[in-house]
Amino acid sequence: MENYKDVLVYIEQRHGEIQTVSLELLGIGKTLAEKLNVNVNACIVGNNIKNLAKELAYYGANKVYIVENEILENYVNEPYTKALATVINDVKPEIVLVGATSIGRDLAPRVSSRVHTGLTADCTNLDIDPETNNLLMTRPAFGGNLMATIICPNHRPQMSTVRPGVMVQSRRDETLTSEMIDYHINFTDKDMNVQVLERVKEKAKKIRIEDANVLVSAGRGIGSKENMKSLYQLSDMIKGEVSGTRAVVDNGWLDKERQVGQTGKTVRPDLYIAAGISGAIQHVSGMEDSNLIIAINKNPSAPIFEVADVGIVGDATKIIPEVIKELKQISK
């Protein structure tokens, strides 16, 4: 264990674009490294990615390990696992951080198992125990009612994934430089257990709920994707956008880009209508600065009423259609 040193951040790039979460991890990685008096290093994997390494220096990476190969053009679990696990086994970092993106969630568990260590997923806070120098990995447990701090005292590296948007990226500084280390890993056909036949990019219109003056926001209380239609109808009538809670996004009723809260967007519209939203702290932290908050909830003790300017106790699936009916009357 004493051979393990430094913090290693896995830099996720997609088609030559560094994902913001990786820069956020370099930020917290640097803070942890300073507490341990060690380096924060980066590992980037892909094809034709050398030009990105300089950018990592600007964000504070002391060393950048570059694994380049044609086979790594698109993300595929097995060759990427081999790349990152090889670097970890070789450089022996004491901490490895990976973004909890769809790719990171696929990659980090496989890598942690390959290098025989544990993994704490979806951390919201990372710190160093000043007595033991162990990594303190904090994440919500039991549906967010409790924060659990997890340690990995018997194995190295200590591995953690962190959701995008939770950590703050450090300032970009073009005077910073880092040591670039090329890794040549021998890949064979056996490493490519999946064949990518085609890449199709979704051509969705980018919605920026953070720019909307009016948001009609859905919570699980809306009950179904079908019931979301009346929220879209109302938002059209009052020139707003539809947003929602993570529960609604997880249920597949709403796109992730419309999620408000700690792991979604922070919004500050003139009017925020919260329909069927309980008011969990992770949601409220993303909307509490809205100018006027109108909450509709069946439960009079729902925490959302603590931040609402106007509270309506009742069934949102009945109230919203009534409001639409009234607005139609007014505009006649």
321 binds ligand FAD (CB under 6 A): no
Does residue 282 bind ligand FAD (CB under 6 A)?
yes
Residues 83-122 that bind ligand FAD (CB under 6 A): none
Q: Which is nearer to ligand FAD, 278 or 290 (CB)?
A: 278
What DSSP string describes 167-201? SPPPPP-TT---EEEEE-----GGG--S-------
Check residue 246 for interaction with ligand FAD (CB under 6 A): yes
Other Cβ atoms within 10 Å of 89 Cβ, number = 11
- Least CB distance to ligand FAD at residue 87 (A): 28
Contacts of 120 by beta carbon, 8 Å cutoff, 6+ apart: 137, 139, 150, 152, 159, 160, 161
Q: Give yes or no for a contact between 77 and 105, defined as CB atoms under 8 angstroms apart.
A: no
Binding of residue 124 to ligand FAD (CB under 6 A): yes
Of 100, 122, 96, residue with least CA distance to 111: 96
- Which of 95, 245, 258, 293 is in the footprint of ligand FAD by CB under 6 A? 245
Is 157 a binding residue for ligand FAD by CB under 6 A? The answer is no
Is 267 among the residues that bind ligand FAD (CB under 6 A)? no
Whole-number Cα distances in Å, 186 to 70, 83, 278: 11, 9, 52
315 is an interface residue for ligand FAD by CB under 6 A: yes
Q: C-beta of 302: minimal distance to ligand FAD in Å? A: 4
Please state the length of the chain: 332
Element (DSSP H or E) covering residue 97: strand 95-99
Q: Which two structure tokens, joined as six digits, stand for 116?
A: 């025989």
**81 in Cβ contact with 103 (< 8 Å):** no
- Establish if 302 lies at the interface with ligand FAD (CB under 6 A): yes
> Could you tell me the smallest distance in angstroms from the CB atom of residue 226 to ligand FAD?
13
The reply on whether position 144 binds ligand FAD by CB under 6 A is: yes
> CB of residue 243 vs ligand FAD: minimum separation in angstroms?
9
Q: How far is the CB of 212 from ligand FAD (least distance, A)?
A: 16
By the rule CB under 6 A, 210 interacts with ligand FAD: no
Interaction of residue 278 with ligand FAD, rule CB under 6 A:
yes
48, 102, 133, 299: which one binds ligand FAD (CB under 6 A): 299
CA distance readout (Å), 294 to 227, 239, 240, 271: 19, 16, 14, 8
**Residue range at the interface with ligand FAD (CB under 6 A); choices 14-22, 108-116, 199-207, 256-264:** 256-264
The span of 21-29, 129-137, 231-239, 261-269 binding ligand FAD (CB under 6 A) equals: 261-269
- Minimal CA–CA distance to 75: which of 51, 110, 41? 110
Q: Which of 79, 99, 104, 221 is close enough to bind ligand FAD by CB under 6 A?
A: 221
The CA-atom distances, in angstroms, between 7 and each of 24, 31, 303 are 14, 10, 39
Beta carbons of 264 and 287 less than 8 angstroms apart: no
Packing angle, helices 228-237 and 316-331, rounded to 10 = 30
Q: How far is the CB of 296 from ligand FAD (least distance, A)?
A: 6
| Per CB under 6 A, 259 contacts ligand FAD | yes
- How many binding residues for ligand FAD (CB under 6 A)? 32
Alpha-carbon gap, residue 42 to 61, rounded angstroms: 6
Q: Which of 161, 170, 262, 290 binds ligand FAD (CB under 6 A)?
A: 262
Tokens of 310: 């106007």
Q: Which residues bind ligand FAD (CB under 6 A)?
A: 124, 140, 144, 219-221, 223, 245-248, 259-264, 276-278, 280, 282-283, 286, 296-299, 302, 315-317
